Chain A
Amino acid sequence: MSLAGPPLLELRGITRRFPGVLANDDVSLTLARGEVLGLLGENGAGKSTLMSILAGLIAPDSGAVLISGRETVLPSPLAAAAAGIGMVHQHFKLIGAMSVRDNLALGDVRWGRFTVDYPELTVSIGRLAVELQMEVDFDAVIDDLPVGRQQQVEILKALSRNPAILILDEPTAVLTPHERDGLFRMLARLKARGAGIVLISHRLEDVIEGCDRAVVMRQGRIVGGGPVAGLDRADLVRMVIGDDLAEIERRPGAAGAPVLRADGLVLRRPNGTIAVDGASFDLRAGEIVALCGVDGNGQGELVQMLAGMLRPHAGGLTYWLHGREIAGPLSAAALRQLGLGHVAEDRLRHAVVPNFSLVANWLLTALFHGGLAPRGWLNLATAEARCGAAVRDYDVKAPGNGVPIRQLSGGNQQKLVLARELHGAPELVLAAHPTRGLDVRTIAFVQRELLRARDRGAAVLLLSADLNEVWAIADRVMVMAAGHLHGPVPVAETSRQEVGRWMTGHA
């Protein structure tokens, strides 16, 4: 595998900071010719930053990138390509409305400056595709292709420049198992030709099946790694999710009548892939059910369906609210009138209007219930009073209730959102990543409030990727991986390791 001489790619002490977060902390790794290196870690571990640096999109604060022993500066994507780095992005850089042929020709002066030599392109890349045993339909429009085929185009585009180093960012996230096998076979062929490959993924299986060596990142640092053959599955899980297995006091809940039942919910993404593949479960009053999964596995979409923001393509939903059984799916408007609390996953896009004041944001969802708009006129006095009370009770640090909410820190914004959503004791609470990006004290506060809502009799669905949080407050837990729902099972009957395995794709 690795030959004598300098490694094909070496990162030495790469450090990169963003406001408020140290994304890469003194990261060093090497890649040899003919080797597949797996870069494993959860979202937020720092993988994307590292990848952006290698792709020439951003520059490191300190540290060096060495290619074949020579220090290289990568100021732009073109420079990275010229240095022999080929990038296959997680979100494809393809033009959906254009054909495969056009996408391959884009920006590539090799095929001609004034006219594009399509025949030459077809022959040349066709040959490459044959070598890699890929089927390519040059005339097909990207949008019409299944995601696996789209990815093949993205890979071909990267490979057509003959890179010595190929980096794939979460390549299996949107592939079917069959397509995934094809990808790994192709990578093996590439490896045989002497390329060095970096496979970035959050899924254990990718690393174990497709890589020779693995390196694990957590919170910006490399926390472990080694040849895949010598790594224990359990070790890897521990490295990825952290082994902060502090003992947490569990307060059991008393589950009551059903509040929500989902029956075989199916949701398709705009590009045709299945986001949620037949999810069935129920939520009962007085319990917290945690929904776990790594980003992109469909759990965010599932919550949006329950909140009335997305319509399922198939399957049934039933709600029990205000003592009535209501057949869903229901619109967000109807749900809010019946008393739904929804702490949205994407706060800035959904839960708040950044330019609005705190009071206006309070009104955002309180408009329908809580008597804040009797006969069509806003009851600003009441809204201000309630907002003010919430600010006090939840200790929201704000220069005033009239300032735009974007002036508040993320944590304080989230506290206000929580106060708003829990106001009025809703019977159903959907909390999507409610503690993401918050400091320790606020996290504890949010968790306490969710427990209080549960003890008041609400059914709470908690979407979280933090297993410690799940173990602290949830009664039951279910996991989504690649669109499939696993569980729910009572927390007492499973372990964090087991759930971690489910999350990383190992059934």
Chain B
Amino acid sequence: MSRVWLQQGLVALGVLAVPSGFILLAGKDPVATWTLLLTYTLGTWNGFSDVLVNAIPLTLLGLGVAVAFRAGIFNIGGDGQLICGAVLAVAVAPILGGLGWAALPLFLMAGAVGGGVAGGLVGWLRTRFSANEIIVTIMMNYVALQMLTWVIRGPLQEPMRIFPRSFAIGEALQLPVLDAGSRLHGGLLVALLAVALLQLVLSRSAFGFRLAVLGENAEAATYAGIKAAPTVVLGLLLSGALGGLAGAVEIAGVFHKLEDNFAAGFGLSAIAVALMARLQPWAIPFTAILFGVFYVGSGALQRQIGLPFPLVWIIQGVVILAFLASRAMQTRTLRVA
């Protein structure tokens, strides 16, 4: 038993030690750096509200990854699905202007549809052609990025045609700001609602059950008469829809228009968010906050002490590896016992 604690302890040490090494390389004091990161992100409202703002799309994307992964499918296309959703939502924004209170929900739904179509396409390619969804989704990310670059310089560009960004969406389509002094917006409620809904669907619906069986044991699914193909496509559709919703939420809550690189590459982080939450919807907001801490903290470190922002990626990569190692060591000791 003590061997397990030793192994887990070493893993935790690694998580701290490796990034600290790079902090040292940059000529900064690791202890002071970690302290600064934690106090800013968790100790100040400025920092924490930003953490929450980041946690919103991370939660939604993480939910999307979790849904797909339940069925044993890697959806790495979160970034692309986010863009598709945002683009579709902004594209239909002008029509929604006069619809009163329904405008915002419709805007968000358009986002879900945009992402859902992208996800469904991947699902179809996988079931029909056995195309490896990992590469397909990643390639679609790049395609979507090009599409974004095009629309903000073309069909959706702002009326003055000077800057590479879209027109601003109407006020009726903007998510209300929850706290006047920060960027925290109503998307928080959307995310929490999505968490609750997904928790319900995954644990209490026949569909969620079928997904789980497929992911655990595809042969048992055959035995039980569960049809794999429609379940997979539906699962990826839902997964993509959540990503698209994240895109619409980001536009409605933070950016209010499309612009280059508005989607900060959360897709990969979302995978870590989902895995560390053990694919449980209720736990995803917490891991999303953790990664939000990494993002906001690294930004603060760059602003305040000049530590390069890419430290956030080093931290994330190390955290994922530590998580994997810790899990692997646990199952090994289980097997021996």
Contacts and interface: CB of A to CB of B under 8 A. Distances in A.
Interface stretch (B24-32, B49-57, B212-220, B316-324): B212-220
Contact of A367 (B209, B222, B223): B209
A360 interface: yes
B220 A352 contact: yes
B203 to A, nearest CB: 8
Interface in A324-366: 331-337, 342, 344, 349-356, 360, 363-365
Given A332-B225, A364-B213, A351 B220 contact: yes
A373 B219 CA distance: 21
Dominant secondary structure of chain B at its interface with chain A = helix
Contact of B222 (A332, A352, A368, A376): A332
Contacts of A349: 217, 219-220
A332 B224 contact: yes
A353 B226 CA distance: 13
B171 to A, nearest CB: 38
Given A349-B220, A355-B216, A377 B205 contact: yes
Contact of B204 (A308, A351, A356, A380): A380
B225 A308 contact: yes
B225 A336 contact: yes
Interface string B182-225: 00000000000000000000001111011011001101101111
Given A350-B219, A353-B213, A364 B206 contact: no
A377 B213 contact: no
Nearest to A349: B219
Interface string A376-407: 11101000000000000000000000000000
Contact of B223 (A342, A355, A356, A373): A342
Contacts of A365: 223-225
A309 interface: yes
Size range of the chain B interface in the assembly: 10 to 19
Contact of A351 (B213, B216, B223): B223
B224 A377 contact: no
Contacts of A331: 225, 227
A349 B221 CA distance: 10
Size range of the chain A interface in the assembly: 20 to 34
A99 to B, nearest CB: 26
B209 A363 contact: yes
A353 B220 contact: yes
Question: Which of A353, A368, A376 has the most C-beta atoms of chain B within 10 angstroms of its own C-beta?
Answer: A353
A422 to B, nearest CB: 16
A364 B224 CA distance: 6
Contacts of B227: 331, 333
Contacts of A353: 213, 216-217, 220
Contacts of A309: 222-223
A345 B226 CA distance: 18
Contacts of B219: 349-350
B207 A332 contact: no
Nearest to A356: B216
A405 to B, nearest CB: 11
A342 B222 CA distance: 12
A307 B204 CA distance: 27
Nearest to A336: B225
A360 B209 contact: yes
Contacts of B210: 367
A368 B209 contact: no
Contacts of A363: 209
Interface string A309-328: 10000000000000000000
A331 B227 CA distance: 10
Interface in B211-267: 212-213, 216-217, 219-220, 222-227
Contacts of A377: 204-206
A353 B210 CA distance: 12
Nearest to A350: B223
B68 to A, nearest CB: 19
Contacts of A333: 225-227
A335 B224 CA distance: 10
B206 A376 contact: yes
Contacts of A367: 206, 209-210, 224, 226
Nearest to A378: B204
Question: Which of B204, B216, B220 has the most C-beta atoms of chain A within 10 angstroms of its own C-beta?
Answer: B220
Nearest to A365: B224
Interface string B109-146: 00000000000000000000000000000000000000
Nearest to A310: B222
Question: Which of B212, B213, B220, B223 has the most C-beta atoms of chain A within 10 angstroms of its own C-beta?
Answer: B223
19 contacts: A307-B223, A308-B225, A309-B222, A331-B225, A336-B224, A349-B220, A350-B220, A353-B213, A353-B216, A353-B220, A356-B216, A360-B209, A364-B224, A367-B209, A367-B210, A368-B225, A377-B204, A377-B206, A380-B204
Interface of B: 204-207, 209-210, 212-213, 216-217, 219-220, 222-227
Given A333-B226, A335-B225, A367-B210, 10 more contacts: A307-B223, A331-B225, A331-B227, A333-B225, A349-B220, A350-B220, A352-B220, A367-B226, A368-B225, A378-B209
